[in-house]
Structure formats: structure tokens, C-alpha cells
């Protein structure tokens, strides 16, 4: 996928991870491997993470954990190339982790419109409940409360 390589060249990141979807249709996986032939040599093998499409909670936990760890030392940019499940979870992670994480939309050029794609298999869904805001109180030198 030239979009991924183009995003890497534009961003010039210090680290790159690829999340590779694996679903019930093995043809998709083979097409993905073939279309990303220019990307694979640029990635450390340990930075290639396969995930099962039918397990969105596992993907969420792994992507969120990686983004949170990286955000402690650098700015994180998630560039979803698909599927829509990955994009949706990336957006949720951005909202949870805040300004240290950005989500970009990759396209061939800036005028490429988003398009609907018919699903090839069954429906994959997840439920998300936004965590309640955590309020910590602490005394500062002035004796006032601070909210985190």
C-alpha cells in the first residue's frame, strides 16, 4: 500500500508499527501482504502486530497499550489504512489518551473522497462505554484542590 509508505515518508517517524488484520477470508490477508510489499522491508519484524478481526477488544487493548506507552516519550500518530474497525478504535483511543495521540486519514491525495465499501463477511461490533472522569484531589502549596 503506497499510502502507508507515503505517510511514513511525510511523517519521518522514529518508530513504526503495523497492525495487520486477520479475518475469516484468507484471500484478504494474501492481498494485504502483496499490496504492502514496499512497506514490509521498512518495518522491524517485531513491530508487525497481527490481530483477529473478530476480537475487537483484544485489538483495542493492544493498540491502546502501545499508544499509551509511546505517548510517554513521543507524539503518537495513528494512520489507519483500514479496516473501519481499526479506524473506529483508533479514534476512541485518541479521545481517551488526549493530545499526545493523533489520528490521520490516509488517502492517495487530499482530494480523494472517503468511500463506502461493502463488507466481505459477517458483522463485527463492539460496545464502548466512556470511562468516567477520574477526579483526584491533592493539596498544593496554596492549599487548594487540583483536579486531574
Domain total of the chain: 1
* Structural domain that includes position 26: 1-148
H/E segment holding residue 48: strand 48-52
Task: Check residue 23 and give its pLDDT.
Answer: 87
**Can you tell me the mean pLDDT for 61-69?**
96
Cα–Cα distances (Å) from 53 to 16, 110, 129, 137, in that order, read 21, 28, 20, 40
The Cα–Cα gap between 94 and 76 comes to 9
Instruction: Check: CB of residue 89 under 8 Å from CB of residue 59.
Output: yes
pTM of the full predicted structure?
A: 0.74
Of 59, 50, 57, nearest in space to 126 by CA? 57
CB 100 within 8 A of CB 75: yes
What is the per-residue pLDDT across 107-146, written as a single tens digit (0 to 9) for each?
Answer: 555 666 767 777 666 788 888 888 776 544 444 333 333 3
Residues in the chain: 148
Amino acid at each position: 500500500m503506497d499510502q502507508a509508505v507515503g505517510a511514513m515518508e511525510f511523517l519521518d517517524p522514529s518508530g513504526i508499527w503495523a497492525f495487520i488484520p486477520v479475518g475469516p477470508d484468507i484471500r484478504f490477508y494474501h492481498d494485504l501482504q502483496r499490496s504492502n510489499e514496499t512497506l514490509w522491508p521498512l518495518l522491524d519484524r517485531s513491530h508487525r502486530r497481527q490481530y483477529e478481526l473478530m476480537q475487537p477488544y483484544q485489538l483495542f487493548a493492544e493498540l491502546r497499550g502501545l499508544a499509551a506507552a509511546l505517548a510517554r516519550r513521543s507524539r503518537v500518530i495513528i494512520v489507519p489504512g483500514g479496516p473501519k474497525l481499526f479506524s473506529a478504535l483508533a479514534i476512541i483511543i485518541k479521545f481517551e489518551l488526549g493530545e499526545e495521540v493523533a489520528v490521520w486519514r490516509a488517502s492517495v491525495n487530499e482530494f480523494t473522497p472517503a468511500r463506502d465499501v461493502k463488507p466481505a463477511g459477517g458483522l463485527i461490533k463492539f460496545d464502548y462505554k466512556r470511562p468516567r472522569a477520574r477526579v483526584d484531589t491533592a493539596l498544593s502549596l496554596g492549599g487548594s484542590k487540583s483536579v486531574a
